[in-house]
Amino acid sequence: MFEHLRRLILPSSPGALRLWLALVVVFHHVTRIEVGKAPVLVFFALSGYWVHQVWSRRYCNTVQPCLTFAISRWWRVAPIMVIAAVLCVAVMALVDHGGLSAVAAMPLRQAFSTLFVLGYAQMPVRPVGPAWSLDIEMQFYLVAPLLVPLVQRTSAIAALFAAFVVYTLGIAVYPELVLTSFLVPFVIGMVAARHQWTVSPRLAEGLQALAVLIVAAVCLSPWRTLLLGSEEGGWWPQLNILLAVLVLPQALVSVGRRGGPRDQIWADQSYVVYMLHWPGILLLRGIAWPEGAAWSAGLVAIGLATSLLCWAIHRYYDRPLNRRRARWVDSRRNAARVAVTKGDDSAPVFA
């Protein structure tokens, strides 16, 4: 029993950890306890790690690798983004959300940023609250084919220093939700992949446990509002960075483990949960719940409905599309092999 509880609280397989990170974001949105940025930073680092790996091992050996990579990543994130946006706008209309008029006032901009997953973080009103991070991800995907060779040709210290310089200049010039503001975690992940950084599993689990204990202690402390509240001047940004640093070693351990078919489902579900819990949050916040246990009952009902929705969307929508995407990328790899054999000029330039 203790072992099962440990795996639930401190998951270490790749899919389980990603789902755990997504559920921390859900916890943040339900409770309004400001711990939601920490898992996003870890997600960015994991993205940097895996992008370095798949570009080097897969995409650079395709026809028109940059275009293939960009289309493939868009194909992976956009379908769920569109579904989430439609559901969120419907819920906003249902609960008469105050931001609905602002959304309706810019239909073309909303449609473009939703469909292409670009410019969403800069929207004055975002129907899908957590989707700002997808915009950052998509910006990273567009420049990743340039960043991977740079990381491969420089030392770890030089790459991290350059990322920090770009971050500092970006904050000074344009302190908004753009890639430069989050470049450091992406580069940390890429450098970890490039130099095959390893961490002791026991140390990684201990640091992850410390992060959980810190959140629990802060929630029980009289300084909870200052440390994890949303007020201006609070310490939650610094605390989220600390939590991300503590969890990152476990993330680096997880990428070297094989989780099996079930773990892959959890990995895929993490993205679905991350996006599709937001309509439920809008519903939970938009209904005027009576005093007493009504809010808790509503939370349980919305949670169950959201879980069923995430399962159905993953099984009948997201997974089939993802399989088609993978087959398309494989076809581009096969075409590249033929092109190399024939001496075609369209062969990959990064092979």
Contacts of 171 (CB under 8 A, 6+ apart): 180, 181
Tokens at residue 143, please?
């420049």
CA distances from 86 to 81, 127, 246, 277, 286 (A): 9, 9, 36, 13, 17
CA distances from 208 to 50, 214, 244, 266 (A): 21, 10, 9, 19
- State the CB neighbour count (10 A cutoff) for residue 288: 6
Tokens at residue 220, please?
């029980």
Contacts of range 228-232, beta carbons closer than 8 Å, 24 or more positions apart: 228/33, 228/34, 228/35, 229/33, 229/34, 230/32, 230/34
CA atoms within 13 A of residue 150's CA, in its CB half-sphere: 13
pTM for the model: 0.92
CA–CA distance, 205 with 350 (Å, rounded to integer): 37
CA atoms within 13 A of residue 73's CA, in its CB half-sphere: 25
CA–CA distance, 305 with 291 (Å, rounded to integer): 22
Matching residue, tokens 């983004």: 81
CA–CA distance, 112 with 53 (Å, rounded to integer): 30
Strands (E), 99-146: none
For each of the chain's 351 residues, which pLDDT tens digit applies?
Answer: 667 777 788 898 999 999 999 999 999 999 888 899 999 999 999 999 999 999 999 999 999 999 999 999 999 999 999 999 999 999 999 999 999 999 999 999 999 999 999 999 999 999 999 999 999 999 999 999 999 999 999 999 999 999 999 999 999 998 888 999 999 999 999 999 999 998 999 999 999 999 999 999 988 888 777 777 766 656 788 899 999 999 999 999 999 888 778 898 999 999 999 999 999 999 999 998 887 789 999 999 999 999 999 999 999 999 999 999 999 999 998 776 665 455 443 333 222
CA–CA distance, 113 with 121 (Å, rounded to integer): 9
